[in-house]
A = this chain, B = another copy of it.
Amino acid sequence: MHFPIPFNHSTSTQSAVSCTTCARQTQCFAQELDTDVLLSLAENIRQRPLARGTFAYRSGDAFNTLYFIQEGFCKKALIDDAGQECIVGFSMAGDVLGLDGCAEGCYTSQAVALQDSVVCEIPFTSLLALSFTFPSLQQSLHRIMSREIAHNQKSMLLLGSLPAEEKLLAFLYGLAQQFAVRGIAADAFDLPMSREEIAGFLGLQMETVSRAFTKLHAEGLINVQRRHIRIDTARAA
């Protein structure tokens, strides 16, 4: 059921491919990496469980590995001058972590699992070596990094200039879209992160996020019960 080579040329496809017998994600959501194939190609490409609350990597660690999330949910964060954790993004099954480390030889961010997760560890040198045998793998990496750049730019748009309520709504629609792309129910889901973590990402305070949830609920735009969200995905542009 998987492609015989660890890459795929299609750029337009946005649908996810996952194993039918389990929820485990084996391909990047644009089908650019197939971990089943990668695992079979190199000895040092391995799966590793990542328990809730543990780090995939920390800021300052020497960079040598990319982490492909097969199962679960992670947050990416920077530590600011005040020692405060500032969340710069969330990643889910099918995403790749650690792309920021390549430039300076060490990670500038840290990644923590918000759920018990499974990552596929891909030593960067192995990936480079494989990309000689499979040239399109190189281009897949470019696309993955490029998508990260484009995605971060959109996040910056979200952070600037929107009032709290709209920030939160846009954030939820964004999440729903991520789920939809992966073939997961997008109109009802459980938030993997706390109010505080949402606040940290949106540049707000926890209380403001909570109030925004309450208000959006009252306005009928969403349905909230603690971390369970129901949302009308048809509106999500």
Which residues of A pack against B, CB within 8 Å? 11-12, 30, 76, 78, 80-81, 84, 86, 88-89, 99-105, 108-109, 128, 131-132, 135, 138-139, 141-150, 152-157, 159-161, 200-203, 237
Contacts and interface: CB of A to CB of B under 8 A. Distances in A.
Contacts of A203: 159-161, 203
13 contacts: A11-B105, A81-B237, A86-B161, A100-B150, A100-B153, A102-B146, A108-B153, A109-B150, A142-B145, A149-B149, A152-B156, A159-B203, A161-B203
Contacts of A89: 153, 156
Given A102-B142, A157-B88, A149 B148 contact: yes
A116 to B, nearest CB: 25
A203 B154 CA distance: 13
Chain B CB within 10 A, most for which of A12, A84, A153: A153
A160 B103 CA distance: 24
